[in-house]
Structure 1
């Protein structure tokens, strides 16, 4: 019992101290966006909006935003979209004046209909549920 509470406290404290975003799963997906966004310190707080749109019929499966600075106090948030949609809009902010930020952004997507059109490999089984009645 005490061991479980201790583990939960460690997990909670590690999540609270980090502003990284790790939403979704990149399993069976391809990376559609990967870039490091950086802003130098200035006399005002720095902010930037990044919009990623999935190509074709693809849907976003995972969004990973990692703060690369040592103190990890930059702010990243999802403004709209995300996992299960065609696009994601991220906002990156510096923590205060005279501070910059450095984030690595990775977005993964896959086509949910791709397995139905591929030759070979796994495909969904054909189920004919319509049977004629016999009187």
Structure 2
């Protein structure tokens, strides 16, 4: 039985305006216990910023916590639809070397799906599924 993205995704992902600061997105990640935030500009999804982006594109380059989020957004935005199969989502991630993808329906953000989400659904006994299903370290 083919699973759909809707069955694996996290609904209502955390978002932030592209004009907000890196500090704001870091605080949002910390308070929401998330490693990725969807970036929006004028109500349109424009990208994703991850905790790794903050390290590689801000801290490692001498950036400032006051830099704007739009400066550190991950490359080209790729998305999937809720009715896409889990296999299609995995292929999009593979083809674009990304671990998280916004889920869009009729131009609206409805969720986010991560590689770990797919692992939990597809092979719950895999190492990635085990790690992804664990409670976060505090």
> Shorter-chain TM-score: which interval?
under 0.3
TM-score (norm 1): 0.24
Structure label with greater radius of gyration: 1
TM-score (norm 2): 0.24
- Give 1 or 2: higher strand fraction: 1
- Give 1 or 2: higher helix fraction: 2
